[in-house]
Amino acid sequence: MTLMLTLFGLLIGFTLGLILALMRVYGAKEVGWLASGYEKLFRGIPLLILIFIFTFGIPSLFWYLEPLERPIAGVVLALGLRSGAYQSQIFRGAILSVNPGQMEAGRALGMSGIQSFRHVVFPQALRLAIPGWSNEYAVVIKDSSFAYAVGIIEMTKAALRISANFPELWALSMGLVAILYFIFTYPVTKLFGERQTKKLKDLGMGGG
């Protein structure tokens, strides 16, 4: 459950973040304001509040789902909308750190602006975004634990339940959960963060 919440939250955030970043980098001034307004809003609200809003606050939001699935959808949406605000910043930074000469060379070959972005700037921006992105994964997977507050059985809730039934196991179950989060987080940030940073250096990309 924890992994599913994280996966879908990140996926929504990825799509949203990419769109917001494009709005901010290439859009007209007003479009950029809209995107940066969104970022400010969702970076400024605690996740728990967002989760409450999308589950209890607007209970009819997911009217077409089974009642038991509604809070799950609410949590995924909250994680995704907030992650989008952060991922937008990751992508925006990545797009901007691709050397302007790259876009220029693409245009000079006769590619359109969209082609140049699609085949030249975007593939490089994606690589540049990976270290920041692996960090965002670590944030989202840990924040998915807030889902326990609306009754979803994910890792944290499961641990709390065990310790409620067997109080003597509280320390053990909590310790186990902490270790599990760490196991899910560390290798990913290690692999994508550090290895990609080295790879980027080999390609001479990012930070000149």
Partner 1 sequence: MDKTILKVVDVWKSYDDLEVLKGISFELAEKEVKVIFGPSGSGKSTLLRCINMLTPPDKGEIYLSGQNLMAPEVNLNAIRSKIGIVFQHFNLFAHLKAIDNVSIGLRRVKGLTKEEARVKALDMLDQVKMKNWAEHYPAQLSGGQQQRVGIARALAMEPNLILFDEPTSALDPELIGEVLQIMLKIARAGTTMVVVTHEMGFARAVASEMIFLDQGVIVERGTPNHFFQSPKSERVKYFLRQIDILYGSHEALLKEPNEEEIK
Residues from 3 through 22 that contact partner 1 (CB under 8 A): none
Which one, 36 or 197, has the nearer CB to partner 1? Answer: 197
Q: What's phi and psi for 166, nearest 5 deg?
A: -125, 80
Minimal distance in Å, beta carbon 105 to partner 1? 4
Residue 49 to residue 141: CA distance in whole angstroms: 17
Query: Is the separation of the CB atoms in 137 and 188 below 8 Å?
Result: yes
One of 2, 124, 156, 196 touching partner 1 (CB under 8 A): 124
| Maximum separation of any 2 CA atoms in the chain, in Å | 70
Q: Which residues contact 140 (CB under 8 A, 6 or more apart)?
A: 6, 9, 10, 13, 79, 83
Residues 76-115 as x/- pattern, contact with partner 1 by CB under 8 A: -----------------------x-xx-xxxxxxxxx--x
Query: Interface with partner 1 by CB under 8 A: which range of 2-10, 46-54, 176-184, 198-206?
Result: 198-206
Minimal distance in Å, beta carbon 108 to partner 1? 5
Ramachandran area for residue 196 (φ above 0: left; ψ -120 to 50: alpha; else beta): alpha
Which one, 115 or 179, has the nearer CB to partner 1? Answer: 115
Residue 191 to residue 134: CA distance in whole angstroms: 9
Interacting residues with partner 1 (CB under 8 A): 99, 101-102, 104-112, 115, 119-120, 123-124, 127, 202-205
